Amino acid sequence: MRFTRSVTTGLLPSLLYLAASIDASKYSSEYGLVQFANLGYSGTYYKVKSIDSSSDDSCTCELNRDEPYSFSGTNAPLDEELSVHIRGPLNLQKFAYYTSDSYSYGDTSGNWSRLAYYDSESGTADNVTFLANVGKNITCLGKALDYIDSDGISAADSSTVLGNVTLESNEEFTIMSNISCEDSGWDNDCGVYRKGIPAYHGYGGEVKMFLFKFRAPLQSDLDSSVDEDSTSYDLSAIWLLNANIPRTAQYPTNGNCSSWNSGGGEFDIFETMNSTENRHFYSTIHDFQGIGDIGTGIQNYGYLERTPDSVMMGGVVFGSDGVVSVFLSNSTTFDSDLSSSDVSSWMSAVVSADEEKVETLATIAVASSTTTSSSSSKGGAVRLLTEPKGFQWKLVSVLLGLLAMV
């Protein structure tokens, strides 16, 4: 899901820190709802300025380090347009994207409007485009993004509605809106992207919600054989990326081919991390809010349960209060209009049934400074080999409790 093989050298645009202590006992506990509070910071990342994909030998990219892209505000940079990513084993049955004028955790007034919807049963696909890395493979970029057929894995000539398919381990696809990008170009609406791909906008908005209905069966229960030693064997996942990342390169071997290393942003909604914990969905933020190691990211130590034998429903809510909530609830509905009180009630119900865990992210504390770091792959995630100078860990974990819900 991230750069698993790349060795990159990048300039971290800013060095940030957050404060506190980690209580070992809170690792790896099951929760009904996991949250991150205080999401969003002021920072910069580098967008891709040019891509040469003409041949394996000349394959290279350049980031616009002269003009760092600045962002700030609630949920930033995850308030930008995001793409949705699905990794098997997974059978996606429904997907929906909503926006709202305003939503704070626990709100009982207000509403949400559905702006994109997929239902495998009825074959509905409103404002969704199914894509995957199934195009030409070039050294620095990997495989090109292209349309996929209803089977979820083969390339197609045009946008096609996904069928009721179960992806195997290691198989992935991407969902974008159906709004086409202008031509690739620094000043154009989607910026620079890889030549020849079907380029679409992601799903934008500071206040947004993504809902899913899906099964995540065990690979061993599927009627096929996948090498147990393969990278993502039995690691079902659903995550979000800054939409400019898959449009340039999702898995480049050259870190200059995407904004990811410099903090374009990733949010892992439901991610099984490794074989020992393959029934636990973790949630992680990969940007530079309060941390220097984007590969590890900001992890929430609580997890939601992956139930391989049953259909799961739930999703992620990015609130105007900077609280991101990730939940699984069988009460989830996918109506074209949803009231905020319904959304709040799904979460309060799982909270009262279970327990709640919140990681509070600190706001940006340290002024921009520049440092050089290198990272390499280890255990499937990029880690810093040398920690930036002056880097400090501080994590605050608080239980918000049910105050807002009663």
Ligand X SMILES: *[C@@H]1O[C@H](CO)[C@@H](O)[C@H](O)[C@H]1NC(C)=O
- Provide the binding-site residues for ligand X, judged by CB under 6 A: 28, 60, 91, 101, 110-111, 115-116, 121, 126-127, 137, 139, 142-143, 164, 166, 177-179, 201, 203-204, 254, 256, 273-274, 276-277, 282, 310-311, 330, 337
| Smallest distance from ligand X to CB 62, Å | 6
Dump the DSSP string for 143-164. EEEEEB-TTSSSB-SS-----S
Closer of 358 and 381 to ligand X (Cβ): 381
Closer of 219 and 364 to ligand X (Cβ): 219
3-state secondary structure 8-46: EEEEECCCCCCCCCCCHHHCCEECCEEEEECCCCCEEEC
Closer of 204 and 388 to ligand X (Cβ): 204
Closer of 110 and 246 to ligand X (Cβ): 110
| Among 273, 2, 243, residue whose Cα is nearest residue 131 | 243
Please give the Cα distance from 83 to 286 (Å, whole number). 14
Closer of 201 and 364 to ligand X (Cβ): 201
| Smallest distance from ligand X to CB 133, Å | 6
Mapped onto helix, strand or coil, the DSSP state of residue 119 is strand
With beta carbons less than 8 A apart as the criterion, state whether 181 and 193 touch: yes
Please give the Cα distance from 200 to 103 (Å, whole number). 27
Closer of 30 and 277 to ligand X (Cβ): 277
Compute CA 27 distance to the chain's CA centroid, rounded to the nearest angstrom: 22
Please give the Cα distance from 69 to 135 (Å, whole number). 29
Residue 258 CB contacts under 8 Å (≥ 6 apart), including other chains: 48, 61, 244, 245, 248, 249, 250, 252, 264
Please give the Cα distance from 155 to 160 (Å, whole number). 10
Closer of 260 and 364 to ligand X (Cβ): 260
| Smallest distance from ligand X to CB 281, Å | 10
Closer of 16 and 134 to ligand X (Cβ): 134
Give the dihedral sign, CA 156/160/164/166. positive
With beta carbons less than 8 A apart as the criterion, state whether 79 and 205 touch: yes
Compute CA 88 distance to the chain's CA centroid, rounded to the nearest angstrom: 15
| Smallest distance from ligand X to CB 269, Å | 15
| Smallest distance from ligand X to CB 368, Å | 18
Closer of 40 and 142 to ligand X (Cβ): 142
| Smallest distance from ligand X to CB 362, Å | 21
| Among 38, 23, 125, residue whose Cα is nearest residue 75 | 38
Residue where the block lists tokens 């799982």: 350
Closer of 38 and 133 to ligand X (Cβ): 133
Please give the Cα distance from 238 to 94 (Å, whole number). 13
| Smallest distance from ligand X to CB 364, Å | 25
| Smallest distance from ligand X to CB 396, Å | 19
| Smallest distance from ligand X to CB 241, Å | 15
For residue 317, the one-letter residue type is: V
| Smallest distance from ligand X to CB 43, Å | 19
| Among 88, 395, 29, 96, residue whose Cα is nearest residue 272 | 88
